[in-house]
DNA sequence: AACGGTCAGTAGTAT
DNA sequence: ACTACTGACCGTTAC
């Protein structure tokens, strides 16, 4: 049994799993925190803001601090809630390194899985979680790397063997298959080499987090596109379907580039309700639903002596006659009942998934539901939405169309979850005019300047709209830029074709088109060269993506605390073009200074430095290189892009695009899949060091990885202040007693988290990741022995290091 | 039409 | 008691 998704919801009896890998998170029984009042320091619970509580690094702990460790109770007594109360005897702090003491039952419980994983080449390295000696960090990483390579070779053999067995069953084209296999293998190896392989070790952990999920999905998308591109350029054999999605998925699976490998009941760390997916393999790789095809995923759970299957997740894809009339209720059909060979229907049996659902009905455990639906923008494709946790209410058998027995299950969505599937329905209704969007100020703020309307919406406050500006959809240069080179326009009258090496536009892009057939950017480039006005290809050419105007239904909306923002009604695929940055190009003066108006908050500045972006491999240098620096002001006029806010964990990035015989443009593309109604943000970057920052602004992105308010950054600040005994160290206001709602005891991390009302439980995994020992080791080059942190959250999280840094 | 992960069953191997 | 292997199962995806 893994960690429960819902905090403190001990709905399923604990089974057997390596407990050292499982976070132990549960709310304490006592909600009133006990704060120390060291002499000479104001009490934390006092109404006015208190200074940072400074504790000498020389241990053990100063008087008044020890009451902060009521949660450090021996593991055995954790099963007994009575023993773990606030008033129980205070133990001395346990160093962090000791929490991983292997337990025998943990090993025994995971034996079956463990062996399977070994077989699949997914090595659970003996030291991959032994954070122990940090001075060997480099060596550890090195050994991790070499082991990784070894495992890859292992699986390579397995793969070949498999290929042979397939050859037996299939006739013809086996040579073709193998050569292309090798091609793709080499391609994939090349591709993976460009990544930081040590990252994969972290990702492989059984408990994922937002960052790992993002990373895995990104690698999958890139690899799949690589495969697609490779197939694209080869002449296709008709009748032979290549499945780049499956190939990429299989490869990452075999290399262990995946998260949440152990199945679990309930929520999956790093995956939020409303997240969208475009391939079944993506759902597999992030551990949301492990079956690549089957609709029901289940695991066996120990009950006393025997085991029984329990459903963990289902995919409702509409191929069975599922009923989804009501957004919060789902009538789900059981699996099976079809003889694949001759497509004959027969009675479904109470086995496998059907049996698991039946058992889950009786156990009452949560089941994750993923809803699949047709993608309206892409007729062949499907989109999957994670719709959160459901509970099975009843089951029955009915006669299907063919007259055979079909199992039916009624699932009801758990309350208190953010909207997901119902939101899709609302959006569809808005689009079709069945219902109208609440709070619409203007149905189209572009006044028809774009191909699609952009609504202006405020359902938050009474603000009537943004300050006046002129809407225009493209970039305006002050004076014509003389083209430096003779134009090399292409002659592709029918549009540029991927394999056409005579096309000069393809040549300039390094021999391959930058976009896929669906208009998705293949990879980040320092410069994308599109066809321009002098090219002979039509406007719908695949190499003119950023010129075709809006393809996504956008709205400008009022945010709660960040002015106006931009979001989309449509789901957005990773790599999709969103819009360009329209505005007026500001000329640079001779000394390089740019006449930027300090009050102009609608500036795009290409010289700002972005954090190393992990958007694309091989280009982690941060900001893209431009032929010349570009500064755009959209204060007086521009397009939707001027409303896009900043985030330190953005979902959109910018890409310089030059159109043949024309000017440089800035185009925005989606970094990852973006669900409908999620705010679109990009990284504004930071001003180049050495230059005076016009006016430092507070970052409001609220991201856990915020550069400015980044909890890790915050933490390092605190640690630094602490180590240097900085008396001014002061980290925000102290929460008052009535502000505090919950205290989470995370004993496996030696961490106590004090949460304000606004703190959301789903942040916990991310917070914990931020404080994982790996993060510490990365930042400080060693493992802290005993760290104790109190965190509380308003919109952002602030952390206090209160005691126990015995370095 | 062809693809891949998971499960369950079975044959084989080690203790 | 554990491991390795195999085939059935289950729908998805692009053509």
Query: How far apart, in whole angstroms, are the C-alpha atoms of residue A718 and residue A729?
Result: 7
Would you give the end-to-end CA distance of chain A in angstroms? 35
Distance, Å, A163 CA → B6 C1' = 19
Distances (CA, A) of A633 to A88, A424, A588, A683, A694: 62, 35, 13, 17, 15
Distance, Å, A281 CA → C13 C1' = 11
Residue nearest to nucleotide C10 (CA to C1'): A294
> Beta strand A276-277 with A382-399: parallel, antiparallel or unpaired?
antiparallel
pTM of the predicted structure, to 2 decimals: 0.68
The reply to whether A168 Cβ lies less than 7 angstroms from strand C is no
**Which nucleotides of strand B are protein-proximal, with an atom < 7 A from a CB?**
1-8
The reply to whether A594 Cβ lies less than 7 angstroms from strand C is no
Name the nucleotide nearest A228; use CA and C1': C14
DSSP secondary structure of A618-683: T-TTSSPP-SS--EEE-SSEE-GGGGPEE-SS-SEEEEEEEETTS-EEEEEEESS-B-TTPEEEE-
DSSP secondary structure of A255-306: HT--S--S--SS--TT--TT-EESSHHHHHHTTS---SS-SEEEEEEEETTE
Distances (CA, A) of A287 to A19, A270, A707: 19, 10, 29
pLDDT of residue A598: 52
Distance, Å, A644 CA → B13 C1' = 63
Distance, Å, A650 CA → C15 C1' = 36
Residue nearest to nucleotide C8 (CA to C1'): A340
Name the nucleotide nearest A291; use CA and C1': B5
Residue nearest to nucleotide B2 (CA to C1'): A241
Q: Return phi, psi of residue A387, to 5°.
A: -105, 10
Name the nucleotide nearest A253; use CA and C1': B5
Name the nucleotide nearest A518; use CA and C1': C14
Question: What residue has token string 């009538």?
Answer: A331
Q: Is A771 helix (H, G, I), strand (E, B) or coil?
A: coil
Would you tell me how many other CB atoms lie within 10 Å of the CB of residue A181?
14
Which sign does the torsion angle of CA A55, A60, A66, A72 carry?
positive
Chain A residues 142-161 with Cβ under 7 Å of strand C are 161
Torsion from C-alpha of A79, A80, A84, A89, nearest 10 degrees = -110
Distance, Å, A189 CA → B9 C1' = 35
Tokens of A796: 């952002």
Query: How far apart, in whole angstroms, are the C-alpha atoms of residue A717 and residue A84?
Result: 33
Name the nucleotide nearest A300; use CA and C1': B7
Distance, Å, A355 CA → B8 C1' = 15
Residues 6+ apart with CB under 8 A from A565: A556, A557, A558, A559, A643, A644, A645, A679, A680, A681
Distance, Å, A123 CA → C5 C1' = 20
Distance, Å, A352 CA → C9 C1' = 10
Tokens of A582: 């329209």
**What phi-psi label fits residue A496: left (phi over 0), alpha (psi between -120 and 50 degrees) or beta?**
beta
Residue nearest to nucleotide B7 (CA to C1'): A352
Q: Is A59 helix (H, G, I), strand (E, B) or coil?
A: coil
Of the candidates A771, A806, A775, the one whose C-alpha atom is nearest the C-alpha of residue A789 is A771
Question: What residue has token string 């006092």?
Answer: A46
**Which nucleotides of strand C are protein-proximal, with an atom < 7 A from a CB?**
2-7, 9-15
Q: DSSP assignment, residue A452? A: S
Distance, Å, A298 CA → B6 C1' = 10
Q: Which residues of A559-569 are buried (b: 16+ CB within 10 A; e: fewer)?
A: beeeebbbbbb
Residue nearest to nucleotide B6 (CA to C1'): A291
Name the nucleotide nearest A116; use CA and C1': C3
Q: Judge contact between A103 and A82, C-beta under 8 A.
A: no
Distance, Å, A153 CA → B9 C1' = 29
Tokens of A614: 């992990």
Distance, Å, A22 CA → B6 C1' = 23
Name the nucleotide nearest A238; use CA and C1': C15
Name the nucleotide nearest A294; use CA and C1': C10
- Count how many Cα atoms sit within 13 Å of the Cα of residue A371 in the half-sphere of its side chain: 30
Query: How far apart, in whole angstroms, are the C-alpha atoms of residue A488 and residue A533?
Result: 11
Residue nearest to nucleotide C11 (CA to C1'): A293
Distance, Å, A155 CA → C10 C1' = 24
The reply to whether A220 Cβ lies less than 7 angstroms from strand C is no
Q: pLDDT by residue (tens digit) across A373-429?
A: 887 777 677 899 999 999 999 999 988 777 788 899 999 999 888 899 999 989 988
Chain A residues 108-137 with Cβ under 7 Å of strand C are 111, 115, 118-119
Displacement of CA A22 from its chain's centroid (Å): 21
Chain A residues 226-255 with Cβ under 7 Å of strand C are 236, 238, 241, 243, 245
Q: Return phi, psi of residue A310, to 5°.
A: -135, 130
Q: Which helix (H) or strand (E) holds A246?
A: helix A244-255
Name the nucleotide nearest A251; use CA and C1': B4
Footprint of strand B on the protein (CB under 7 A): A 116, 120, 166, 170, 177, 239-241, 243, 246-247, 249-250, 253-254, 263, 284, 290-294, 298-300, 309, 352
Distances (CA, A) of A416 to A6, A25, A582, A762, A783: 11, 20, 40, 12, 38
Chain A residues 276-335 with Cβ under 7 Å of strand C are 278-281, 291-296, 315, 317, 319-320, 335
Q: DSSP assignment, residue A419? A: P
Distance, Å, A400 CA → B6 C1' = 27
- Count how many Cα atoms sit within 13 Å of the Cα of residue A196 in the half-sphere of its side chain: 13
Tokens of A203: 């990702």
Tokens of A478: 């002050």
Of the candidates A448, A490, A445, the one whose C-alpha atom is nearest the C-alpha of residue A464 is A445
Q: Judge contact between A799 and A775, C-beta under 8 A.
A: no
Q: Judge contact between A237 and A176, C-beta under 8 A.
A: yes
Question: What residue has token string 């940055």?
Answer: A581
Tokens of A707: 């550069």
Q: Is cis: bond before A627, omega within 30 of 0?
A: no
Q: DSSP assignment, residue A386? A: E
Name the nucleotide nearest A119; use CA and C1': C4
Length of chain A: 807
Name the nucleotide nearest A172; use CA and C1': B2
Distance, Å, A165 CA → C3 C1' = 20
Of the candidates A562, A573, A796, the one whose C-alpha atom is nearest the C-alpha of residue A681 is A562
Q: Is A253 helix (H, G, I), strand (E, B) or coil?
A: helix
Distance, Å, A30 CA → B10 C1' = 54
Distances (CA, A) of A193 to A93, A221, A524: 42, 16, 17
Tokens of A758: 């606004």
Query: How far apart, in whole angstroms, are the C-alpha atoms of residue A497 and residue A644?
Result: 33
Q: pLDDT by residue (tens digit) across A213-267?
A: 888 898 898 888 888 777 766 654 544 557 888 988 988 888 888 888 888 888 8
Q: DSSP assignment, residue A416? A: T
Displacement of CA A672 from its chain's centroid (Å): 8
Distance, Å, A170 CA → B1 C1' = 12
pLDDT of residue A626: 64
Name the nucleotide nearest A349; use CA and C1': C9
Segments of chain A with pLDDT less than 70: 1-184, 194-208, 232-241, 303-306, 318-326, 340-343, 379, 479-488, 499, 587-600, 609-628, 686-807
The reply to whether A368 Cβ lies less than 7 angstroms from strand C is no
């Amino acid at each position: 049994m893994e960690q429960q998704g819902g905090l403190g919801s001990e709905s399923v009896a604990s089974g057997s799993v390596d407990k050292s890998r499982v976070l132990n998170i549960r709310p304490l029984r006592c909600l009133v925190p006990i704060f120390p009042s060291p002499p000479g320091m104001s009490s934390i619970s006092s109404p006015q803001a208190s200074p940072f509580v400074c504790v000498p690094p020389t241990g053990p702990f100063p008087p008044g601090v020890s009451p902060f460790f009521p949660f450090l109770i021996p593991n055995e007594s954790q099963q007994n809630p009575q023993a773990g109360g606030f008033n129980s005897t205070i133990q001395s702090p346990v160093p962090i390194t000791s929490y991983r003491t292997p337990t025998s039952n943990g090993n025994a419980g995971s034996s079956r899985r463990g062996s399977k994983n070994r077989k699949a080449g997914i090595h659970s390295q003996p030291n991959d979680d032994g954070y122990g000696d940090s001075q060997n960090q480099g060596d550890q990483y090195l050994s991790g790397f070499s082991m990784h390579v070894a495992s890859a070779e292992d699986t390579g053999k397995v793969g070949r063997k498999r290929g042979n067995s397939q050859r037996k069953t299939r006739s013809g084209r086996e040579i073709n298959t193998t050569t292309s296999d090798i091609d793709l293998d080499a391609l994939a190896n090349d591709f993976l080499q460009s990544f930081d392989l040590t990252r994969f070790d972290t990702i492989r952990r059984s408990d994922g987090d937002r960052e790992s999920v993002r990373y895995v999905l990104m690698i999958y998308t890139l690899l799949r596109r690589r495969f697609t591109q490779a197939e694209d350029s080869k002449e296709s054999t008709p009748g032979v379907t290549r499945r780049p999605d499956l190939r990429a998925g299989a490869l990452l699976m075999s290399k262990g580039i995946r998260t949440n490998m152990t199945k679990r009941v309930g929520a999956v760390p790093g995956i939020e309700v409303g997240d969208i997916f475009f391939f079944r393999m993506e759902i597999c790789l992030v551990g949301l639903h492990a079956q690549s095809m089957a609709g029901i995923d289940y695991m066996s759970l120990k009950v006393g002596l025997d085991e029984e299957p329990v459903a963990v997740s289902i995919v409702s894809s509409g191929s069975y006659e599922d009923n989804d009339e009501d957004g919060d209720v789902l009538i789900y059909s059981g699996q099976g009942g079809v003889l694949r060979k001759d497509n004959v229907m027969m009675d479904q049996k109470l086995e496998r998934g059907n049996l698991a659902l039946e058992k889950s009905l009786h156990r009452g455990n949560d089941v994750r539901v993923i809803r699949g639906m047709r993608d309206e923008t892409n007729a062949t494709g499907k989109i999957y939405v994670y719709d959160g946790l459901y509970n099975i209410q009843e089951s029955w058998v009915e006669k299907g169309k063919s007259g055979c027995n079909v199992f039916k299950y009624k699932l009801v969505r758990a309350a208190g979850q953010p909207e997901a599937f119902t939101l899709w329905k609302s959006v569809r209704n808005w689009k079709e005019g069945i219902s109208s969007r609440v709070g619409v100020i203007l149905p189209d703020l572009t006044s028809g300047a774009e191909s699609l309307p952009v609504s202006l919406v405020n359902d938050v406050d009474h603000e009537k709209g943004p300050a006046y500006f002129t809407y225009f959809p493209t970039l305006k240069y002050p004076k014509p830029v003389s083209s430096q080179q003779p134009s090399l326009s292409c002659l592709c009258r029918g549009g540029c074709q991927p394999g056409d090496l005579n096309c000069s536009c393809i040549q300039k892009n390094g021999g391959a088109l930058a976009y896929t057939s669906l208009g998705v950017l293949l990879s980040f480039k320092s410069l994308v060269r599109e066809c321009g006005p002098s090219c002979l290809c039509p406007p719908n050419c695949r190499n003119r993506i950023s010129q075709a105007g809006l393809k996504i239904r956008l709205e400008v909306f009022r945010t709660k605390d960040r002015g106006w923002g931009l979001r989309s009604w449509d789901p957005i695929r990773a790599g999709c073009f969103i819009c360009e940055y329209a505005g007026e190009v500001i000329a640079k003066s001779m000394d390089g200074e740019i006449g930027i108006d300090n009050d102009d908050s609608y500036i795009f500045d290409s010289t700002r430095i972005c954090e190393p972006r992990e958007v694309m491999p091989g280009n982690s240098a941060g900001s893209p290189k431009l032929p010349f620096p570009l500064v755009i002001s959209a204060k007086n006029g521009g397009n939707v892009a001027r409303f896009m806010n900043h985030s330190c964990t953005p979902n959109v990035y910018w890409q310089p695009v030059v159109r043949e015989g024309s000017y440089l443009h800035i185009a925005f593309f989606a970094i990852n899949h973006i669900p409908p109604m999620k705010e679109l943000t990009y990284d504004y970057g930071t001003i180049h060091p050495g230059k005076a920052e016009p006016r430092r602004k507070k970052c409001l992105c609220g991201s856990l990885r915020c550069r400015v308010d980044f909890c890790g950054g915050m933490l390092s600040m605190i640690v630094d202040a602490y180590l240097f005994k900085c008396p001014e160290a002061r980290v925000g206001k102290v929460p008052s007693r009535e502000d505090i709602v919950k205290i989470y005891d995370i004993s496996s991390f030696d961490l106590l988290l004090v949460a304000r009302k606004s703190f959301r439980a789903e942040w916990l995994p991310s917070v914990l990741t931020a404080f994982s020992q790996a993060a510490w080791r990365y930042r400080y080059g060693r493992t802290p022995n005993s760290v104790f942190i109190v965190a509380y959250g308003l919109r952002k999280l602030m952390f206090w290091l209160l005691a126990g840094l015995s370095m």
